[in-house]
Structure 1
Amino acid sequence: MEAAERSELRGRILDGRYLVGEVLGIGGTAVVFEAERIDDGADVVVKTLRPIFVDNPDLVRRLRREGEVARTVAHPGIVPVIDEGVLPDGSPYLVLERVRGECMARLLRRVGTLAPEVVGAIVMRVATILHAAHAHGYVHRDVKPEHIVMDRDVDGSLRVRLLDFGVCASDRAPADERQREVGRVFGTPSYVSPEQASGDPDVDARADVFGMGVVMFEALTGRLPFTGSNVANLLRRIIREDAPRAGLIRHDLDFAWDEFVARAMARVQDDRFPTMRALARGVAPLVGDRRIAESRLLALLESRGIAADGERTRPDTAAIRAA
């Protein structure tokens, strides 16, 4: 972490409302700080652009779009943007709720693979979030375990959040922005769909369906479906090759699950589930009793004291990344 990045903000009070603390993390284009809301002492995070990007109009627009998504979609699975402002250098900042819980990536590192029913329970929750976003014209484009955060809600039920809409596509994006996106890959390479890997900016819900398929594959097998010696090689494989079958790696995986994951990761868009709602409906019979599956997931979270203690997420799960 570059400790000097935006160091001038530490200890400052933004717009008389937020006391900025230490850096939580630095992503490709953004810096995120822990902060305190002065009025009530609430823990929040402040996200702003790295100094080298403050004059980039596309990145400024993307940061503001994160706030737009939170306001427009207004789904409990999307982290609320509490406030927005402008720094002295003219660049925007967002104030977000401080997320607590454990991200799926950390859970997988801790326990290895997950039972299919538990994976399905997570998928159903994330699918409802993505369906709401898609209904408002947004495609996330970076669905991956690091962006899925889980904990126990105040009423004792499972709470799942999907973080970081920083590289999302919008059907209301200006034409010049879309043109500049042609040929660029948005999202984390290991999880992007073939159309994303090809640099197509005009993606739809099926791109996120593919990303969800990769998440399922990884959670069930402990491996990523595609690897490469470098990013270009990896993207080439995603474009040209069919994804491997999860059942060939996890031999105890039921054929119905194997088929379901394969359909989500179909190389041809029309062969995938057409919407997140269709994905959720398809996985529901495989999950069975959803309450039991979610209880098993909560038990896994509590095995490290996450749901009980409300441990704060680390930088990669605090809605801080940006492409």
Structure 2
Amino acid sequence: MVAGRYRLVHPLGQGAMGEVWCAHDSVRRFEVALKFLVLPRQNLAIDAMERFRFEAQVAAQLGRKTDFIVTVHDAGEDPEAGPYLVMEYVRGRSLRQLIHERGPVPAAELAALLRQIGEALSVAHGLGIVHRDIKPSNILLREGRDGRLRAKVADFGIAKWIRQDLAADFPRQTAEGVVLGTPGYLSPEHTCDGHADPQLDMWALAVVAHVALTGEQPFAGRTIADVLASILEGARPPLSTLRPGAPPALETWFARAFALDPAERFPSIEPMISAFVAAVGPSAAPSAPAPAAPVRRTGLHLAAAGLVVALGLGLVLTTALSSQRLEATAELRVIRGEVLSAARGALVAQAPAAPQAGAASTAPAAGPATAPPPVPQPPEPAPLPAAARAVPTPPAPAPRPAAARTVRAPGAPASTGKAPARKRDAGTQKSAIF
């Protein structure tokens, strides 16, 4: 039992700096997702905890300004489990899983999803926040009552603040030359100097659209250096060779979205999404359905698989490290009160204003009723390190102790109420390009 109220049910995934479990909230009586911080190397511990704190505060506020962002309900530190976030549990699957299971996504269906993802990013950008790790595994999908998919953007663990418009404890700025993100989704300018602005998220969203339409990365290579070289050269196959029959106007859309010069791309997320919808044609003309009013869900309406992949607190893709890294460790200050006060502040600030036409509801979605445990999917490893120049292959990570986690096998007796043993690991890292 974590914090005396959250009973761990089963793991949902694990990354280089965090892991996520499905848990039952014994007070509110519904399922939530618990994200734990797995501290990295000793000299990065303080930075990691600052980002964990920042993620909690940002997600708590953004999640209450749009229904298309996974929100954080609570946060704190447990004596045994360590720092944790209590997040909205999205019962469904990620866009990555959808592509793997069904293959390429129809253009009209993708247009509806991009509208929702675009709204989430527009809200974040409007408040000075750049996500920095948009990719299919960080886009969670759930099925609405009308049978249509609704998207939620997850994992603001390596988010970048470009303006301090939110009430949050902003982490120290990333050192010059340090690149954060997943190699195949980085914009050319970001691979060179780590520069992050809304254009980085827009470039990554175009990569997501390409992967969803074709099942293939636009910029591929056998090594990270090859991938980065493809990005810098703008070398990608024509859409028509990967997806015959796709609307011809989409090739023009991708050409603009992947322009090497940022000035030649779309100026912001809204015209970018509008242009995609126009390129798809009349089949994408109807507006994406607005999120349904919060209701208690049952397992009959939901997919069997369930997950929240909010693990990639990020992987520092280093070209130059500051020589004055702090090496002292520090305990994470309990941030429960700050997250809750931030959430209350966001709700109070919005209460007087009438909702604008077409805007998504700001009320957090009600948690689902207890349903049969979803089938956990294999976790996606965290991003591989990369730099603007060719880098040597990193050493293999140390194996994670087998006893670090306890997972209840199907059919095994129910939990005794104690949290499965969690052992902090200071050096384990797993990585992948996609």
SS in 2 for 1:266: coil
Please say which of residues 254-263 and 128-137 is displaced more in the overlay: 254-263
Whether contact under 8 Å (2:113, 2:149) holds in the other structure is no
Tell me which of 143, 147, 169 is aligned to 1:152: 143
SS in 1 for 2:179: coil
Distance of aligned partners of 1:45 and 1:269 in 2 relative to their CA distance in 1, 3 Å threshold? same
In the other structure, the counterpart of 1:72 is: 61
Please say which of residues 166-175 and 56-65 is displaced more in the overlay: 166-175
How far apart, in 2, do the equivalents of 1:310 and 1:32 lie?
19
Whether contact under 8 Å (1:242, 1:266) holds in the other structure is no
2:173 maps to 1:178? yes
TM-score by length of 2: 0.62
Please say which of residues 101-110 and 77-86 is displaced more in the overlay: 101-110
How far apart, in 1, do the equivalents of 2:303 and 2:105 lie?
22
How far apart, in 2, do the equivalents of 1:110 and 1:122 lie?
17
Deviation at 1:187, TM superposition (A): 1.6
Deviation at 1:252, TM superposition (A): 2.0
How far apart, in 2, do the equivalents of 1:142 and 1:163 lie?
9
2:42 maps to 1:49? no
Whether contact under 8 Å (1:45, 1:95) holds in the other structure is yes
How far apart, in 2, do the equivalents of 1:187 and 1:179 lie?
12
Residues 121-155 of structure 1: per-residue CA shift (max 9 Å, x gap): 22111111110111011111111111222222346
How far apart, in 2, do the equivalents of 1:243 and 1:307 lie?
42
The structure with the larger Rg is: 2
Structure 2 regions of 5+ residues with no counterpart?
290-298, 315-434
SS in 1 for 2:132: coil
1:74-223 aligned at under 5 Å gives the runs: 74=64, 75-88=66-79, 92-154=83-145, 158-172=149-163, 177-180=172-175, 182-200=176-194, 202-223=195-216
TM-score by length of 1: 0.82
CA RMSD of aligned residues (A): 2.8
Deviation at 1:59, TM superposition (A): 1.2
Distance of aligned partners of 1:175 and 1:31 in 2 relative to their CA distance in 1, 3 Å threshold? closer
Deviation at 1:29, TM superposition (A): 0.6
Q: Which has the higher contact order (CA 8 A, sep 6+)?
A: 2
Deviation at 1:242, TM superposition (A): 4.3
Deviation at 1:30, TM superposition (A): 0.6
In the other structure, the counterpart of 1:299 is: none
Distance of aligned partners of 1:176 and 1:280 in 2 relative to their CA distance in 1, 3 Å threshold? closer
Identity of aligned residues (%): 30
How far apart, in 2, do the equivalents of 1:262 and 1:89 lie?
51
How far apart, in 1, do the equivalents of 2:263 and 2:238 lie?
19
In the other structure, the counterpart of 2:393 is: none
Residues 19-54 of structure 1: per-residue CA shift (max 9 Å, x gap): 234433220111222211111321111112114458
Residues 266-285 of structure 1: per-residue CA shift (max 9 Å, x gap): 22211111111111221232
Partner AA of 1:194 in structure 2? P
In the other structure, the counterpart of 1:230 is: 223
Tell me which of 5, 9, 12 is aligned to 1:24: 12
Partner AA of 2:228 in structure 1? L
In the other structure, the counterpart of 2:342 is: none
Partner AA of 1:188 in structure 2? T
The count of corresponding residues between Structure 1 and Structure 2 is: 297
Partner AA of 1:177 in structure 2? R
How far apart, in 2, do the equivalents of 1:33 and 1:279 lie?
35
In the other structure, the counterpart of 2:368 is: none
In the other structure, the counterpart of 1:318 is: 309
In the other structure, the counterpart of 2:248 is: 255
How far apart, in 2, do the equivalents of 1:87 and 1:130 lie?
32
SS in 2 for 1:263: helix
Whether contact under 8 Å (2:221, 2:227) holds in the other structure is yes
SS in 2 for 1:320: coil
Distance of aligned partners of 1:267 and 1:244 in 2 relative to their CA distance in 1, 3 Å threshold? farther
